[in-house]
Structure 1
């Protein structure tokens, strides 16, 4: 096949030899007839007349006047005007404008659908006009080159000069300029004056350019660019576009701000942008905010979209009382499509240098994340609040700086495996060097569990049609000196079966656990092994009007205990077997109605649950340790709520088989929308009726339990939920004791608002009635050292995140303790969210709960702070504490952050 250039020359010669050559051979070649400006009225027009020279080696051309109107050019020769009713398009704007201003459309000119797709905080968006010229759907390499202009001229047979509103199109590539020279020897087009080069997703402008028509690369002087999908723009003294679509900017800028905004941008000696792989690099780059340089780096790599790319991430800068200035500079390694690595050097002014590392791996069946951090020889911090306590003699120097010269570290593994497989695996492991690690150091770039109990768990499992097997090892690291440390489960094995024979259901539950404890020797804690069997046979019959589910069960519990710390004479292998029976039944009634013109369906759902469990004396587990403690590896009393009415145990865990003879009665009514079936309101009320006393307890012997008077019925449990309009939600849970105080013993209520714009408002109240205790100190500061101390929990909480005006929003929280008349936390702040940056300023006052171990909790001092966070959209943020504070303080704020960028 002949080279493309040779074919072009042959086509030119054929056209010229035919005697049909128009004003320039290139124009005929490109299938376009470009008319020159008329010299006279419309009854004549100018036309080229070309004749071969005497030697046949050249052409002699001149213009002649011909009668009649000029040939009407096809519409596609200069491009059809796009018809867009929702917004103006680029073809309506002057070509001298920078690229970003050409395709930018203000919000008031956008359609409703386009407004919804706007970036939050923006006052408009980029609208790319459709390409409607001929062959616009083709790749330029497979499409002919077409051209039109007001004037044209042929120079030395090989160069066509087009002037005045020049338009070149080749497939989906479209080029406009005031003047173009096309050289058929080199395939180079030289452009001058208000240049505009457009391809799908890309717009380039400039004052002068060179374009290789065949290869597609270009050099543009005094250029500007716009990449629509990533919403990035900038300018350059010289811009080169390679044939792989990479942009190289000499003396260029990069930003995601709206046109005419210089809020922030990167300016570099050379910037390279790869829109295809969504990555950018730069040499001698500085970050400028409002034209003021604030950061310099000799080299940088940054993302221009959502794809991963190696390079420095934006540094995090924060400050705290205990650590001082904290600067972290993450570097991201995009090692392969399925794994990566992030290294984060940190400098903490009052503690020293540390390093954080995180690596991720994703395969067809596994997802794994490994994290670690290390700080060598902690310098101890410099917390002024702690220094004040030292000066007051409340704590010692060693208590204030317990980790001076100590190495501090973190290790974490998060693994999930077995996607779409019958087997699965799970690892959730986090461990730190000390219980104050997160309070003192937190994390700059790691996403790890930072609760008061750090789980260290590994699980392997397998599922089949009828069986589910699981092998688990689990322990916890406790980060609070006042909290107890759970037992280790090394291992725990579960094998559960479920068979369905029509309406008959057979369940087979097996569990074996080996319990160990890190303090078993120092605290004389009993360890051992436990096995549990739970077999059940139920008849589950359901109809449209109700259900009926009777069943029989048997539960077996046995131990093999280490006798080293057992009480003298205690049984080291107790076992118990208890038969049980239950009947669960309910009815569904419904009726239609209307209220204020709105139709609804109301249901009435009575439910009865009878449960019987034979008494088996389990006193062998009470006072069975050498210290007088009970055998209790993982069990606790369940908090009574409406949902507990229909459980077959009053305990969480497996260390007791409770005896019972009771009937639970529950009534529920719902209001539903007839068309959608959506629940608008529901209310439930229930109570347990006891037919016999309960004798099994976690901490008391049976005879001691039975010696106490027991009630014939439980407290009343109620819960209410309502949807008010489209955005309001109301929920409440109440426990009312009619037997003792005839008062509410526990209750909570919350009113929440959330709309499509993620405006948030939360109002909640919580109450727990507790018996008072005798206070032997002076907790209230009134001089009385022997009085009843109120232990009731009564707290109110209000929080919101709400727009004020324009791009401004406010955030607030007030958490108040009504029992002791004190503020637990007060927070107020403002947020400004624009198209290309966002900042938050928050003032906060809170109780220093970290000191609860060294001073009385009612005498806690209030900490105060002002927090600032600044985020450059598409580049990074300075500080991360504000986001964490607001996510913990305002219900729904974390989801808001995931949906608003």
Structure 2
């Protein structure tokens, strides 16, 4: 058999992948086994078997009855075959089957010219072996020099007995050494109804990325009106590409979105630019834009460089026009540029850190620059010496705000110990910080200030286990107590500005953190003992079925740092629970309860029922007694359910119990089969739009409808995407 057959039929299978219809093949498609080519034939050799044969030494060989023609690359079965020795042609007729590793063809007549390496198959049915795809062809001609030519052929990836769609073409030609095939007079059918005609188009025929038109996106909502986005992909080079996405919105106008990607041996990155020259929904001729630059690369063996720079024209850009990278609830867009060095004992990071602040939020300080150095080395007898240091300059977008240069160094001597059943850590640290503050007129701040604190920490934990029973089944129960003592000395810090510091919330893990603030501008004085306990039930398969953690901090002395002051002599009791209830129910909850007032300060609950992978119901609730002087009390239900074969429904509803209103409602239906899929999604949620003063609306809602022609995870879409609550190992 000619070697070109194997290569050219592979081109047909790649046609399927190029139009994106093979995404569902892992679920829907069982590949044909392909021929058994385990023989000792060399390339060009043919072995023929039959029930009867007539052979003339010089002119012909005629084979009849269950004819099998084998080569090193393909197999032909037929009722009879005639080999003309003078013309070196082979003609197989009657119930002909041609097979190689990539395709199976059924026909009544196959002709092979061994001189020109040309193969002709007439009135054939073909099916691809490696991917989902089959069709008919009046003629398939294959030549080593001319390539492959399909005349009056069809193609579909749907099952044979349910061809929802198909492509009919007068001619499909694939030429050797070309990266694209050519289709002439193509008609696209839904069932037997023609819906699209293309006199000419080309398609990629190898696994290299090719330029072309991608799937469109169609949506409708109260903000943009009807929106149609058509991405166009340009494969500039093997390591560069560009996607243009023209988008027309009936309420907003014409927008252009671009995405440029690059990849080198040591660098990778992406540039996005979106531009709307004139927003029709706004009174004046307002141009709107968004840009994003992300880069990660290696410089030498130990050096890394990274960038994450984002910006937009106005606060409402994401709310009005949407974003592939940010959520409408986001309040900051990062702008960072940094370089870092890593070695076994030393790492150094230098970066410029800024923010694009959305809405009427306190203006964030930017660090221009921020340099951090961390060093760790053993010093003998199991002890370690560690140094954490930082140098940063802070300034704000508001000219009247103070600026500061901050230097911090924290040498630490520590002794860690760990084995299978215990852990111990003792460490002593000196925390020295120096500030040079400017623009502090009429503020209770000092220009030059130094702060030196001492800190000591001792931490220990044990792990006990015993045989136990878990709902009548053998299991192992663990008992894991942990205790930490923390002491930090006091200095007055009220004369230091707050540049990158906010208060942290405590969950169970946060009880052992030892710091109540982000950043370094406030370091709370501590004299406290933290006690925690975790218990687990582990089944005979070493899987956790249940985990409960409880912890609390006991303050031996009142805080003198004003920002860290407390009214009680102990923290809220922090609790976390993970429970696999049977084989289908999962629960996760965490809470912080004041043991003085017996009131819940913060809590969250997720309860999930999962019958199968496609049948899920989840109930969520979250509560915060005081978050920036507001109470958060919200409940949500998320469900995904298989309605019928290939049909999936997803719904989500979140309600604010405090304000008695629905925050988000979301529902979608998706049809997904071996050969096509479509999704319909309707959604209504808070718009979160900013007014001219930067205040965010809490009363306006936005409704929308979307149609997707590509496979999507509807369960994770929307404002509140699905998250599995089960956190056990």
TM-score (norm 1): 0.71
User: Alpha-carbon deviation of 1:151?
Assistant: 5.3
| 2:510 equivalent to 1:605 | no
What's 1:40 paired with?
none
What's 2:549 paired with?
684
Instruction: Tell me: CA distance 1:347–1:284, structure 2 relative to 1, closer, same or farther (3 Å).
Output: farther
User: Alpha-carbon deviation of 1:461?
Assistant: 1.1
Contact conserved, 2:50 with 2:67, CA < 8 A, in 1? yes
Deviations 1:667-690 (A, max 9, x none): 2212223553x3221111111111
Q: Which runs of 5+ in 1 are unaligned?
A: 6-98, 101-116, 382-400, 622-630, 774-790, 872-876, 894-901
What's 1:48 paired with?
none
Task: Tell me the distance in 2 between the aligned counterparts of 1:441 and 1:666.
Answer: 47
Deviations 1:459-478 (A, max 9, x none): 21111111011111121212
Contact conserved, 1:279 with 1:307, CA < 8 A, in 2? no
Instruction: Tell me: CA distance 1:357–1:180, structure 2 relative to 1, closer, same or farther (3 Å).
Output: farther
Instruction: Tell me: CA distance 1:262–1:483, structure 2 relative to 1, closer, same or farther (3 Å).
Output: farther
User: Alpha-carbon deviation of 1:555?
Assistant: 0.7
What's 2:8 paired with?
none
Q: Residue 800 of structure 1 is aligned with which of 639, 645, 651?
A: 639
Q: Residue 809 of structure 1 is aligned with which of 633, 644, 648?
A: 648
Note the 1:408-427 alignment, pairs <5 A. Answer: 408-418=288-298, 421-427=301-307
User: Alpha-carbon deviation of 1:852?
Assistant: 7.6
What's 2:458 paired with?
583
Task: Tell me the distance in 2 between the aligned counterparts of 1:225 and 1:753.
Answer: 45
User: Alpha-carbon deviation of 1:551?
Assistant: 1.4
Task: Tell me the distance in 2 between the aligned counterparts of 1:342 and 1:849.
Answer: 30
User: Alpha-carbon deviation of 1:545?
Assistant: 3.9
**3-state SS, counterpart of residue 763 of structure 1:** strand
Q: Tell me which structure has the larger Cα radius of gyration.
A: 1
Task: Tell me the distance in 1 between the aligned counterparts of 2:208 and 2:612.
Answer: 28
Note the 1:415-494 alignment, pairs <5 A. Answer: 415-418=295-298, 421-442=301-322, 451-478=330-357, 480-494=358-372
Q: Residue 770 of structure 1 is aligned with which of 607, 615, 626?
A: 626
**3-state SS, counterpart of residue 440 of structure 1:** helix
User: Alpha-carbon deviation of 1:274?
Assistant: 9.2
Q: Residue 608 of structure 2 is aligned with which of 730, 733, 752?
A: 752
What's 1:241 paired with?
142
Task: Tell me the distance in 1 between the aligned counterparts of 2:627 and 2:44.
Answer: 86
The count of aligned residue pairs is 706
Deviations 1:305-344 (A, max 9, x none): 9753332223333333333333333232334433333233
User: Alpha-carbon deviation of 1:133?
Assistant: 6.6
Contact conserved, 2:331 with 2:359, CA < 8 A, in 1? no
Note the 1:2-81 alignment, pairs <5 A. Answer: none
Contact conserved, 2:221 with 2:705, CA < 8 A, in 1? no
Instruction: Tell me: CA distance 1:282–1:409, structure 2 relative to 1, closer, same or farther (3 Å).
Output: farther
| 2:405 equivalent to 1:549 | no
Note the 1:469-548 alignment, pairs <5 A. Answer: 469-478=348-357, 480-500=358-378, 501-518=380-397, 520-521=398-399, 524-548=400-424
What's 2:599 paired with?
743
Task: Tell me the distance in 1 between the aligned counterparts of 2:88 and 2:523.
Answer: 89
What's 2:164 paired with?
263
How well do the aligned residues superpose, as a CA RMSD in angstroms?
Answer: 3.6
| 2:32 equivalent to 1:127 | yes
| 2:127 equivalent to 1:226 | yes
Contact conserved, 2:640 with 2:648, CA < 8 A, in 1? yes
Task: Tell me the distance in 1 between the aligned counterparts of 2:555 and 2:280.
Answer: 59
What's 2:589 paired with?
732
Instruction: Tell me: CA distance 1:306–1:601, structure 2 relative to 1, closer, same or farther (3 Å).
Output: farther
User: Alpha-carbon deviation of 1:156?
Assistant: 11
Contact conserved, 1:719 with 1:732, CA < 8 A, in 2? yes
Note the 1:371-382 alignment, pairs <5 A. Answer: 371-376=272-277, 378-381=278-281
Instruction: Tell me: CA distance 1:868–1:305, structure 2 relative to 1, closer, same or farther (3 Å).
Output: farther
Task: Tell me the distance in 1 between the aligned counterparts of 2:134 and 2:146.
Answer: 15
Deviations 1:548-607 (A, max 9, x none): 3221111112112233x5336842222211111111112222211224442222121221
Task: Tell me the distance in 1 between the aligned counterparts of 2:690 and 2:341.
Answer: 46
User: Alpha-carbon deviation of 1:360?
Assistant: 2.2
Note the 1:177-196 alignment, pairs <5 A. Answer: 177-196=78-97
Note the 1:358-397 alignment, pairs <5 A. Answer: 358-376=259-277, 378-381=278-281
User: Alpha-carbon deviation of 1:833?
Assistant: 2.0
Instruction: Tell me: CA distance 1:159–1:372, structure 2 relative to 1, closer, same or farther (3 Å).
Output: farther
Task: Tell me the distance in 2 between the aligned counterparts of 1:575 and 1:271.
Answer: 78
| 2:449 equivalent to 1:574 | yes
**3-state SS, counterpart of residue 658 of structure 2:** coil
Task: Tell me the distance in 2 between the aligned counterparts of 1:449 and 1:425.
Answer: 27
Task: Tell me the distance in 2 between the aligned counterparts of 1:198 and 1:645.
Answer: 67
Q: Relative contact order, CA 8 A, sep 6+: which one is greater?
A: 2
Instruction: Tell me: CA distance 1:308–1:419, structure 2 relative to 1, closer, same or farther (3 Å).
Output: farther
Contact conserved, 2:431 with 2:453, CA < 8 A, in 1? yes
Q: Residue 568 of structure 2 is aligned with which of 711, 717, 726?
A: 711
Contact conserved, 2:367 with 2:394, CA < 8 A, in 1? yes
Instruction: Tell me: CA distance 1:438–1:761, structure 2 relative to 1, closer, same or farther (3 Å).
Output: same
Task: Tell me the distance in 2 between the aligned counterparts of 1:456 and 1:302.
Answer: 40
**3-state SS, counterpart of residue 505 of structure 2:** coil
User: Alpha-carbon deviation of 1:853?
Assistant: 7.7
Contact conserved, 1:232 with 1:304, CA < 8 A, in 2? no
What's 2:114 paired with?
213
Instruction: Tell me: CA distance 1:679–1:156, structure 2 relative to 1, closer, same or farther (3 Å).
Output: closer
User: Alpha-carbon deviation of 1:152?
Assistant: 4.7
Task: Tell me the distance in 1 between the aligned counterparts of 2:478 and 2:609.
Answer: 26
Task: Tell me the distance in 2 between the aligned counterparts of 1:735 and 1:166.
Answer: 80
What's 2:717 paired with?
886
Instruction: Tell me: CA distance 1:792–1:619, structure 2 relative to 1, closer, same or farther (3 Å).
Output: closer
Q: Residue 142 of structure 1 is aligned with which of 43, 46, 57?
A: 43
| 2:508 equivalent to 1:642 | yes
Task: Tell me the distance in 2 between the aligned counterparts of 1:128 and 1:154.
Answer: 34
Instruction: Tell me: CA distance 1:288–1:588, structure 2 relative to 1, closer, same or farther (3 Å).
Output: same
Segment drifting more, 683-692 vs 843-852 = 843-852
Contact conserved, 2:288 with 2:317, CA < 8 A, in 1? yes
Q: Which runs of 5+ in 2 are unaligned?
A: 3-11, 14-22, 725-729
**3-state SS, counterpart of residue 645 of structure 1:** helix
Contact conserved, 1:198 with 1:204, CA < 8 A, in 2? yes
Instruction: Tell me: CA distance 1:449–1:296, structure 2 relative to 1, closer, same or farther (3 Å).
Output: farther
TM-score (norm 2): 0.87
What's 2:6 paired with?
none
**3-state SS, counterpart of residue 540 of structure 1:** strand
What's 1:252 paired with?
153
What's 1:175 paired with?
76
Instruction: Tell me: CA distance 1:867–1:482, structure 2 relative to 1, closer, same or farther (3 Å).
Output: same
Contact conserved, 2:551 with 2:575, CA < 8 A, in 1? yes
User: Alpha-carbon deviation of 1:725?
Assistant: 4.0
Contact conserved, 1:195 with 1:208, CA < 8 A, in 2? yes
| 2:437 equivalent to 1:558 | no
The structure carrying a bigger helix percent of its residues is: 1
Task: Tell me the distance in 2 between the aligned counterparts of 1:288 and 1:420.
Answer: 55
Task: Tell me the distance in 2 between the aligned counterparts of 1:365 and 1:469.
Answer: 20
Task: Tell me the distance in 1 between the aligned counterparts of 2:628 and 2:296.
Answer: 47
Task: Tell me the distance in 2 between the aligned counterparts of 1:357 and 1:654.
Answer: 40
Contact conserved, 1:263 with 1:290, CA < 8 A, in 2? yes
Contact conserved, 1:375 with 1:408, CA < 8 A, in 2? yes
